[in-house]
């Protein structure tokens, strides 16, 4: 059966003005990239229309999208999302999901699911390739199990509304700006990532000091979703692994958002790459 196929879209680099970041053209090209990169969380926003086709609105309640990023894209470069059609019917299903450029370059690959399928997601099944943290320079003080948070975070509904108005959200759903099957507007995947990442990692970013990082992999999973705009959630998490590649040090962490009633609403697994060439700790051999 043919996969569900989205239209070719041209995601914008929304953070190009962040000097010194991987989204800044000057910084990115100095580090060997073609230009400032589009955040991986932005790419997640192209999948929901396909996920609703594959699984129905239940995807926002108990679904997941688990992607490992293979190639970074720059501002306005065309990309296309794909989700394989489920083989059968049932409450618990998982299928491949991927994104390519029109020329065939693979941007991201992984899985999408709804319910509780027996098989692990793409990132849950991945070997984290742990190393002794003492062998690292930027992440040497981190250990699996180190807690992150908790912090109280309000979902930034205004940012999502601006993205809708300005046309920055690559695949807008009516549910993001108006009423939804759950009542109020709901968060897009990129807004959900922001909830589960930005404020939680603030103290850790300060500890790590100056460096340039980028998203290497993201899994968003809803447990009692969806995430609602302008609501506050308690966000907590922990480090699950540290490793390295020839050019990066790698941090894996999990995070979770609970609502005011204590329900687990959504969770995330993220892999963050810190570029060795961007850190003064690698200025000398």
Between CA 213 and CA 98, with CA 73 as vertex, the angle to 5 degrees is 100
* Residue 112 near residue 47 (C-beta atoms within 8 A): yes
The two three-digit tokens of residue 217, written as one number: 């992999």
pLDDT (tens digit, 9 = 90+) per residue, 59-98?
999 999 999 999 999 999 999 999 999 987 788 999 999 9
Percent of the chain with pLDDT over 70: 99
What is the distance between the alpha carbons of residues 239 and 165, in angstroms, rounded to a whole number?
Answer: 36
- Give the whole-angstrom CA distance, residue 258 versus residue 150: 10
Q: Taking a C-beta distance cutoff of 8 angstroms, is the pair 229, 212 a contact?
A: no
Instruction: Please tell me the predicted confidence (pLDDT) of residue 1.
Output: 82
Cα–Cα distance measured from residue 208 to residue 272, given in angstroms and rounded to the nearest whole number: 12
pLDDT class for 207, splitting at 50, 70, 90? confident
Residue 15 binned pLDDT confidence (cut-offs 50, 70, 90): confident
Average pLDDT for the chain: 94
In this predicted structure, what is the pLDDT of residue 88? 77
**pLDDT tops 90 at residue 20:** no
Domains and CATH numbers, the chain: 4-116+131-282 (3.10.129.10)
Predicted local confidence at residue 101, as pLDDT:
97
Token pair, residue 176, equals 């993001």
Of 201, 220, 169, 223, the C-alpha closest to 272 is 201
Count of C-beta atoms within a 10 Å radius of residue 261: 7
pLDDT in tens, 130-151: 899 999 999 999 999 999 999 9
Identify the pLDDT of residue 285. 60
In the sheet with 106-114, reading across from the earlier edge strand, the strands are 4-5, 80-83, 93-100, 106-114, 63-69, 213-222, 264-275, 248-258, 232-244, 147-154
Residues 164-180 have a mean pLDDT of 95
What are 231-258's pLDDT values in tens digits? 999 999 999 999 999 999 999 999 999 9
What pTM, to 2 d.p., does this model score?
A: 0.96
């Amino acid at each position: 059966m043919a996969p569900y196929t989205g239209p070719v879209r041209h995601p914008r680099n929304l953070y190009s003005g962040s000097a010194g970041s991987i989204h800044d053209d000057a910084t990115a090209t100095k580090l060997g990239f073609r230009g400032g990169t589009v955040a991986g969380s932005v790419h997640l926003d192209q999948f929901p229309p396909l996920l609703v086709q594959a699984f129905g609105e239940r995807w926002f309640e108990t679904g997941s999208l688990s992607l490992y990023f293979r190639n970074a894209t720059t501002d306005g470069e065309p990309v296309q999302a794909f989700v394989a059609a489920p083989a059968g019917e049932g409450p618990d299903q998982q299928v491949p999901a991927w994104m390519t450029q029109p020329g065939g370059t693979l941007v991201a690959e992984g899985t999408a699911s709804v319910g509780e399928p027996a098989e692990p997601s793409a990132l849950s099944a991945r070997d984290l390739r742990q190393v002794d943290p003492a062998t690292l320079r930027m992440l040497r003080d981190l250990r699996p199990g180190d807690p992150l948070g908790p912090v109280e975070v309000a979902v930034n509904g205004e940012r999502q509304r601006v993205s809708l108005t300005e046309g920055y959200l690559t695949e807008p759903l009516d549910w993001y700006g108006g009423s939804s099957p759950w009542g109020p507007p709901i968060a897009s995947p990129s807004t959900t990532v922001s909830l589960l990442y930005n404020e939680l990692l603030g103290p850790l970013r300060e500890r790590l000091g100056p460096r340039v990082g980028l998203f290497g992999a993201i899994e968003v999973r809803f447990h009692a979703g969806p995430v609602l705009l302008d609501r506050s959630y308690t966000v907590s998490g922990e480090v699950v692994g540290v490793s390295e590649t020839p050019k990066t040090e790698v941090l894996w962490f999990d995070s979770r958002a609970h609502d005011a009633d204590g329900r687990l609403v959504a969770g995330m697994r993220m892999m963050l790459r810190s570029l060795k060439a961007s850190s003064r700790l690698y200025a000398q051999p």
